[in-house]
Amino acid sequence: MKLTEVFAEFASAFVQRPLDPVVAHHAKRAVIDWYASVLAGSVIAPATLLEKAYAEDLDRGAARLVSGRSGTARTAALINGSAAHAEEVDDIFREAIYHPGAPTIAAALAAAQDVGANGAAFLKGVTVGYEVSTRIGAALGRAHYKYWHNTGTVGTFGAAAAAACVYGLDTWRFAHALGTCGTFAAGLQQAFRADSMSKPLHAGRAAEAGVASAQMARAGVTGALDIIDGEAGLGRAMGAGPDWGNAVATLGREFNITQMTFKNHACCGHTFAAIDGALEVQRMLGVRASDIARVHVATYAPALEVAGNDHPATSAEARFSLKYVVATGLVHGSTRLKAFMPERLACRDTRDLITRIDLVVDPEIDARFPGRRAARVAIEARDGRRAVHFQPDRKGDPELPLTDLDLDEKFSELAEPVIGKVKAAELLARIKRLEDEKSV
């Protein structure tokens, strides 16, 4: 069997069974986090600009943007998917170096609204999309991440699987939806090594391509069933000989959606261990940022490759500057959304501290990537004291998870400024009983 067929058979069997309560709970956590991310991102570019660019596809159709406007399913998926990745607060599946929620949930929601699906069908679509895509991403591994942005590439499969599941495609059509979407999978890392709006578009485009592929398959359009594991398929073209057998060895028995990382900082996830470690050393020493002589950060190589910008001038660049986020965390105590406002970017204390931060690659830490994301942080105070802390994981990782209460608070923090306290509370309550919702 081709890998697309293996995934299709899994999905066909999965949708026939009741949702396991534990899996359902974790799926709803993912949806809560997605709504927090998408609402925050819906009021900024590129989402606001996409509404102008795609005006002819809006104010018609059965799907909706989170801003409330109706739209075609593909356009709603594109704009919501982009919005969900815009503020850099969306979820992560660590082993796949991938943000599954932005494209997968955007596609599942658009498809569910398109056909009037209920909450249980929507949750099953989300779960299937996460399982298919995270396993592809984990198998592609570090080699794929050298040039490609996994949220754009792998996310296309998550979106297609989720939409195909919600649309109720049979096994044959489900496999062909994956076969078609595989040739649409794209997203280059250079997009976020420069000051551009392209990175969130990767998530949006993946969502759109996934919905389109599922719609095409529903109409009978066929794709290459060996698009993932064929001689000129995804694995060979974009990877280094992935072990596809291992990728599906536990499919249907273990669920990756139960092992998500939920972000505790509003920036690149590669910086989180360094931020957490620096704040812990600051607490140990009891020093203010102005009392710090030097900060030494040792972490894994991709963190420096992706977030090595020493002189960020914009919000987008600052989110991918390890020195900036560590410095602003030490100065202001937080790296949530306010850390990337113009007044914070111009903060003289933060800019001064950036010049006193050193970054190096630690070979032992690097060898554990992507399975673990660690950092070793040392701070030297001006009075001569010194402390070191090894941060083995990031707060929000499965080993140090955000609690349900933490996640609720994150949701409130990001959603309330956009839709108000009352509507935010109502939405959160609906998500928590999604499996009982008659329509999304």
Looking at CATH, the fold of the domain delimited by 3-263+401-436 is given as 2-methylcitrate dehydratase PrpD (1.10.4100)
Per-residue pLDDT, 321: 97
Q: pLDDT tens across 231-255, in order?
A: 999 999 999 989 999 999 999 999 9
Is pLDDT above 90 for 346? yes
Looking at CATH, the fold of the domain delimited by 269-391 is given as 60s Ribosomal Protein L30; Chain: A; (3.30.1330)
Per-residue pLDDT, 351: 97
Pairing of strands 292-299, 70-71: unpaired
- State how far the Cα of 39 lies from the Cα of 208, in Å rounded to an integer: 18
Are 381 and 373 in contact by the 8 Å Cβ rule? The answer is no
In the predicted model, what is the mean pLDDT of the chain? 97
Local confidence band at 193 (pLDDT 50, 70, 90 cut-offs): confident
Q: pLDDT tens across 295-311, in order?
A: 999 999 999 999 999 99
Q: pLDDT tens across 358-412, in order?
A: 999 999 999 999 999 999 999 999 999 999 999 999 999 999 999 999 999 999 9
Residue from 197, 112, 102, 194 nearest 152 by CA: 102
Per-residue pLDDT, 194: 83
Domains 3-263+401-436 and 269-391 share a fold: no
Domain-wise residue ranges, the chain: 3-263+401-436, 269-391
Are 376 and 358 in contact by the 8 Å Cβ rule? The answer is no
Q: pLDDT tens across 31-81, in order?
A: 999 999 999 999 999 999 999 999 999 999 999 999 999 999 999 999 999
Is pLDDT above 90 for 26? yes
Share of the chain above pLDDT 90, in %: 99
> What is the mean predicted confidence (pLDDT) over 284-292?
97
Which phi and psi (to 5°) does residue 378 adopt?
-120, 140
Is pLDDT above 90 for 195? no
Specify the pTM: 0.96
Local confidence band at 208 (pLDDT 50, 70, 90 cut-offs): very high
